[in-house]
Amino acid sequence: MKKSAALLSALLLAASGAQALAQQQTLTVCTEASPDTLSAVLSSANTSFDVAEQYGDRLVEMEIGGSKLLPALATSWTISDDGLRYTFKLRHGVKWQSNAAFKPSRTFNADDVVFSFSRALDKNHPYAKVGGGDYPLFNALVIPALKAVSKIDDDTVLFEMNVPQASLLGAISVQPFTIGSAEYADAMLKAGTPDQFDRAPIGTGPFQLVTYQQNSLVRFRANPDFWGKTDGMPDRAAKVDNLVFSITPDPAVRFAKLRVGECHVARYPNPADLDAIRAASGVRVIESTIASMSYLTFRNDKKPFDDHRVREALAVSIDLDNLVKAVYQGTAAPTAALVPISLWGSNTQVKPRPYDPAKAKKLLAEAGYPNGFSLDIWALPVARAYMPNGKRAAEMIQADWAKIGVTAKIVTFEWGEYLRRVRSGEADVAMLGGTWDYPDPAQLTVSFSCEQLTTGRNVAKWCDPTYSDLIRRAGITSDRDTRAKLYIEAQQVFHDAIPAMLFADPKAFVALRSNVQGYKLHSLGGQPLGGVSVTP
């Protein structure tokens, strides 16, 4: 009898547990690719930023769906009159997440901020080489302007600058500047497993990372101790128990999963499918302007691309109007300006070069290639807002170039491998792009400045001292009108030199199930998913 009672009790307990699990809410987001790393400090890719946005926080944050800077792990800051000292007051009592290998003994403090910045700033730091030692956004956005970050007391840190940087606050709102736990880093270093700090990251954000299966899923659970619930950021708090990124590279498959309810959010829908998505039962589409750039780079340091005539021939032989119509399906306009029209500082006077295959043939003949030549064109393997169909775009370019005697073989790889190979210099002609992470043209330093030649970010291997100097001067100038003029001039230098060819200024779209509430399309950096709920 006692045995039967015990068995009945166990069965009831199991049923209760199963019922509780069934009652948990899960938000499933169909995303386009695996993150190249779970630790955004090592990346410049939005797939990584999307992950870090869920588990981590920065000193300052961008408002969801907007461009206003808000206090986050820093409650306030003051800037010296000369722009060389930033003093941040830190939020008190913020709890760290934990995992199987680490249980925190203290809350967030200044040591964590100093660790997170010194890792990239100090080449002798114990973590400087961990994870490969490449800090692309640090190098592009704050170094060499940032001199040092030091602790004044547990709740105060000081940023000392070599030169003023007008965009510093915006820059450090981006996911690579997520604050990590210095105590966790020390524990992993003592255990002889420092790589675990980046492979199993913890943070202070609305969700905690649970597991990652490459090319399959990223799973998170709600962080019950998220500070923002009660301290000024309730819209960032998790409104579901679980969050899953279902990695689904094909946009048609993402739409199919959305339609049958396998996912609640389908990111980067194919523009050609938008009408069908809008007509689907139980589904809606939201859209937003987006600050982005998409381009085709040429290796300016290698023949035949080191010849301006060849680069111009390749550019004018692409029917850009036709490509944008076919690939973006009415959701974008051709562009020639590095800074998108949605941002201040865009050069609206530069225009795409007219399609002119006859001129292209003449230029190739003058350059010594009357019969053309052969090349590989690397096609973006994932759908992005800035390039929804890299394969289709590559096919159209391939056909256009064939008309002038240039034979193009299309090459592509899985997203992480594609980025690694392109940045290592394997590609002579490659598609790249990105969305602006904060609303300031200062991000022009990321892709084409001379300083990025050694980092792998300047894939075009183009170095124009005039361009780089204009960008540098704009970055240390406080007057916005003066900065805008410098950025406009830099874009003209870029346009004249043709180190790469720009594609389009697009809009961003996302498809949602009708029972998804609170989703705001965020086109600056990673997409926040705190504040999003799913109704029965």
Is the pLDDT score of 292 beyond 70?
A: yes
Give the per-residue pLDDT at 445: 82
> What is the rounded average pLDDT of the residues 466-487?
92
Helix (H, G, I), strand (E, B) or coil at 149: strand
| Cα 503 to Cα 328: distance, rounded to the nearest angstrom | 10
Residue predicted with more confidence, 2 or 364: 364
Give the three-class secondary structure for 142: coil
- Degrees (nearest 5) of the Cα angle 291, 296, 297? 110
Q: Please tell me the distance from the alpha carbon of residue 127 to that of residue 120, in angstroms, as a whole number.
A: 8
**Average pLDDT of every residue of the chain:** 93
Summarised one tens digit per residue, pLDDT across range 39-61 is: 999 998 899 999 999 999 999 99
Q: What is the pLDDT of residue 509?
A: 94
Give the mean pLDDT of 297-322: 98
Q: Are strands 242-247 and 26-31 parallel, antiparallel or unpaired?
A: parallel
Average pLDDT over every residue of 389-394: 96
Determine which of 3-17, 173-187, 402-416, 417-431 has the lowest per-residue pLDDT on average. 3-17
pLDDT bin (cut points 50, 70, 90) of residue 97 is very high
Q: What pLDDT digit, counting tens, does each position of 164-182 carry?
A: 998 999 999 999 999 999 9
Mean pLDDT of 103-107: 98
Helix H or strand E encompassing 219: strand 217-222
Among 224-238, 392-406, 445-459, name the most confident range.
Answer: 392-406
Q: What pLDDT, on the 0 to 100 scale, is given for residue 25?
A: 95
| pTM (2 d.p.) | 0.85
Residues β-bridged to residue 309: none
pLDDT at 519: 96
pLDDT (0 to 100) of residue 454: 82
Compute the distance between CA of residue 510 and CA of residue 269 in angstroms, rounded to an integer: 6
- Name residues whose C-beta falls within 8 Å of residue 87's C-beta, 6 or more positions apart in sequence: 77, 78, 152, 156, 157, 158, 159
What percentage of the chain carries pLDDT values higher than 70? 96
Q: Is pLDDT above 50 for 437?
A: yes
Residue 415 has pLDDT above 80, yes or no: yes
Contacts of 154 (CB under 8 A, 6+ apart): 90, 109, 110, 111
Domain ranges of the chain: 26-260+515-534, 292-505
- So what's the pLDDT on residue 20? 46
Of the two residues 521 and 446, the one the predictor is more confident about is 521
Give one DSSP letter per residue of 302-324, joined into a string.
Answer: STTTTSHHHHHHHHHTS-HHHHH
Q: How is domain 26-260+515-534 classified at the architecture level of CATH?
A: Alpha-Beta Complex (3.90)
> Which residue pairs, CB below 8 angstroms and at least 24 apart, start in 304-312?
304/367, 304/369, 304/373, 305/428, 305/429, 307/367, 308/497, 308/498, 309/363, 309/364, 309/366, 309/367, 310/363, 310/364, 310/367, 310/369, 311/498, 311/499, 312/353, 312/360, 312/363, 312/498
Q: What is the pLDDT of residue 438?
A: 87
Confidence of residue 107 (pLDDT cuts 50, 70, 90): very high
- With cut-offs at 50, 70 and 90, classify the pLDDT of residue 536: confident
Res 251: pLDDT: 93
Q: Is the pLDDT score of 122 beyond 80?
A: yes
pLDDT band at 144 (very low <50, low <70, confident <90, very high): confident
In which band, very low, low, confident or very high, does the pLDDT at 527 lie, cut at 50, 70 and 90? very high
Task: Give the model's pLDDT for residue 13.
Answer: 43
292-505 placed in CATH 3.10.105.10: yes
Does 5 have pLDDT greater than 80? Answer: no
Residue 7: is its pLDDT beyond 50? no
Top-confidence residue, 140 or 286: 286
In this prediction, residue 93 carries a pLDDT of 97
pLDDT for the residue numbered 534: 96
Alpha helices in 155-283 (DSSP H): 168-171, 182-190, 196-199, 251-259, 274-279
Model pLDDT, residue 525: 87
Mean pLDDT of 256-276: 95
